[in-house]
Structure 1
């Protein structure tokens, strides 16, 4: 599986040999394949490219030659940029214009989790809920056919052509950054950078430098001048995520930029003008934060020119099939097998409250794809909290199946025995169920238990299940359970 995942290529441009080895090792660990300009791209840049990493660059001409090895692909691939690299300050002017180029900054010493998060965000428009709406407008839309998401898509289309500030509200995991990217992709600024920053993840004393940049010597460790996110986003869109977590002193400074469109770098006195569209997002109740004295009212009204609220997943559960399909496409691009959910599994998912929203669903699909690659996942295969029934019900269901097939229950228990004598103990859901599908779930669960107990030897598992080996082989083929089994 690892080799399959590593078919996803990342071009590494880094003159510092030690750092190049660090970034290459990290990419390999996360399942990507780092490739360096030269012999590895002598094939004309062919490959499944997902991003370009840019670190220390000797000169821009050499940098351009390395980009040229990818051909026209280099104009469209998203970028991972070392935030202390000289090129980071020149990035907007150093690269040819491209449509919808995303940029993520990396801090060193490098850690795996931020790198993985950055790679996920870079491909978010393609894999975390976006589809191209190939209509006359060519705009992007958020995946989902429900009325709730239809309203969101309509609002995105309405506000995208204008430079109005947008405030995206909603619970964590509902896709607020996806909405920001959709607005950017559908706007006249689509050829300029989309720069995102999480205001809650950066210490208050560092956030000013991250947003506005700093001059050399502005503070300890400022060994060179550096552009901030406002300058990097010039002409494009700046996404301020978790704006509700910004400190009050920083809110004052941001308010000035929104009002006057000017700022100064930390440690500098030269006023700079900026042409940036602001999209902010938060999961917090800002009106309550204002009442509590934690958020400035004047900043709130500056940001909420066009408020847009993302619905939680529990309010548009009819979008589950389409969302799962989209996440499967993402997994296939990464080299993982897709996953199918049976009718009973889908019913169980519809009963879940989804506190983590779309992000939680995305993680579940990936988890199931790893556990049951290219198989159909049934309700009994889901983690317990997603099944919507007590864990003991699987045991009672197994006993019920054994009775219906006229054989003794496997490993009878007090619970199972009670079902044999009191069939009514199995509770029928209020909305009913598909009995055939429900019994199939039970059968798959028992087959898997038998295979686990016998080390995957089909003949021995068949004896445990009191059936012919050929019958079990047919059931394994029916349910897609043949992989890795021993069939003597």
Structure 2
């Protein structure tokens, strides 16, 4: 139940407001001075404070100043019998929610209190969501590679330089993009994300640049595109290597001129966006094959980031396990598991073709499915026990080296396809029956 503190030196007003607030279902207390107000706040965190300006001893504004300095998050509504603009402005600057004048309207006072409490709840929810988001996108690791990455982010983030992030699937490209945005001058503005590979070819242009009503069948109303929504903010183009030549040309123009036309419109829209792009493809190879524009590549690749795969920073596995263990245990209201040294060693011996995402999913599975508090090596999911990636020079013959490569390649594609053989075959550009034959020949068991 929400609690209200009334601070007024007039006993009649204190008693009346207290009775009204209690009738409205609030818990209400009342005091006569600013000193008593500060003392009461030491005993209870009130949702809202109705605070008179003119008080004996320290006045209402000084009381407000002191309670904010003490860290109070109570919503404060200032009351005054001699209201003026200067007092209202000072109160607002000190963090007051609203300013109402005497004689008080009971109806307006109750409405103001309810609005103040509602605003406080929304701010608390927003803060909780921001904290949860920050936890979700925390960069974990103390390896040399991770320390270098954090340093690079701190140098690049405050600028408006375009960034192109390279990395295998699951290495945390979005995580890095969000970290750059969070440390940038645009941090208070939105982070607009676009996954180029997830949007159908016929819709990607409209998704990025918007459209006008009637631009195509189904366009029953005008719609803003991601670039317009990102005006003054950051736009993150994930899997940029999958964009069509037509879309590449329009993105190039936005980067060159900071303007574009929505689909079906002849009117240009000017925007100010910071672009961060990411890909798991080698764009230099895509350029040679004619799949990607060289001029767009040079525009995007102002500041390149190379994200290390997890197999190259296995010393971070322990910290990642602790992080995901705590996160998922909290999310599922369970006590964190204890991973024995043998379990950690087992996890560090695996190549993690799905990178951090695969490790994250593994720990979530353990938190949910393992009934005990102690996790040994034998309690880990089967795919945590693969051989580390084999180097070609270890094999005496060409066939053995080729088989080792094919085995690792197929295992990675199966991991990316979450065990779906048909999807993995499609990704590899081979027939499903051919993939099954190769899996049998190479001794690969699908654990998806």
Stretch deviating more after TM superposition (189-198 or 366-375): 366-375
Which residue of 343, 349, 365 maps to 2:363? 365
1:74 and 1:270 mapped to 2: Cα distance? 40
Which residue of 126, 129, 136 maps to 1:127? 136
Work out whether residues 329 and 367 of structure 2, in 8 Å CA contact, stay in contact via their aligned partners in 1: no
Establish whether residue 70 from structure 1 lines up as the match of residue 121 from structure 2.
Answer: yes
Establish whether residue 233 from structure 1 lines up as the match of residue 233 from structure 2.
Answer: no
1:146 alignment counterpart: 143
Q: Give the secondary-structure state (helix, strand or coil) at the position aligned to 2:327.
A: helix
Work out whether residues 166 and 307 of structure 1, in 8 Å CA contact, stay in contact via their aligned partners in 2: yes
Q: Give the secondary-structure state (helix, strand or coil) at the position aligned to 2:161.
A: coil
Per-residue CA distance 1:396-435 (angstroms, 9 max, x = gap): xxxxxxxxxxxxxxxxxxxxxxxxxxxxxxxxxxxxxxxx
Which residue of 155, 179, 183 maps to 1:182? 179
1:160 and 1:385 mapped to 2: Cα distance? 37
| Bigger radius of gyration | 2
Which residue of 271, 286, 291 maps to 2:288? 291
Per-residue CA distance 1:269-319 (angstroms, 9 max, x = gap): 221111111000000011111111111111111000000011000011111
Instruction: Measure how far apart 1:329 and its partner are.
Output: 3.0
2:354 alignment counterpart: 356
Q: Give the secondary-structure state (helix, strand or coil) at the position aligned to 2:266.
A: coil
The alignment yields a C-alpha RMSD, in angstroms, of 2.5
1:8 alignment counterpart: none
Structure of greater relative contact order (alpha carbons < 8 Å, 6+ residues apart): 1
1:321 and 1:182 mapped to 2: Cα distance? 22
What pairs with 1:59-458 in structure 2 (closer than 5 Å)?
A: 68=119, 70-73=121-124, 75-76=126-127, 125-128=134-137, 130=138, 142-337=139-334, 338-373=336-371, 375-388=373-386
Per-residue CA distance 1:87-117 (angstroms, 9 max, x = gap): xxxxxxxxxxxxx79xxxxxxxxxxxxxxxx
Work out whether residues 195 and 237 of structure 2, in 8 Å CA contact, stay in contact via their aligned partners in 1: yes
Per-residue CA distance 1:324-349 (angstroms, 9 max, x = gap): 12212321342243332111111111
Long gaps (5+) in structure 1: 1-38, 45-63, 79-99, 102-122, 131-141, 390-488
Closer/same/farther in 2, CA of residues 330 and 313 from structure 1, 3 Å limit: same
Work out whether residues 351 and 386 of structure 2, in 8 Å CA contact, stay in contact via their aligned partners in 1: no
Instruction: Measure how far apart 1:69 and its partner are.
Output: 6.7
1:188 and 1:374 mapped to 2: Cα distance? 47
Instruction: Measure how far apart 1:217 and its partner are.
Output: 1.3
Per-residue CA distance 1:28-70 (angstroms, 9 max, x = gap): xxxxxxxxxxx9xxx98xxxxxxxxxxxxxxxxxxx9997372
Closer/same/farther in 2, CA of residues 66 and 163 from structure 1, 3 Å limit: farther
Work out whether residues 125 and 178 of structure 1, in 8 Å CA contact, stay in contact via their aligned partners in 2: no
1:247 and 1:300 mapped to 2: Cα distance? 14
Q: Give the secondary-structure state (helix, strand or coil) at the position aligned to 1:240.
A: strand
Long gaps (5+) in structure 2: 1-24, 26-45, 48-114, 388-448
Closer/same/farther in 2, CA of residues 367 and 336 from structure 1, 3 Å limit: farther
TM-score, normalised with respect to structure 1? 0.53
Q: Give the secondary-structure state (helix, strand or coil) at the position aligned to 1:152.
A: helix
Q: Give the secondary-structure state (helix, strand or coil) at the position aligned to 1:278.
A: strand
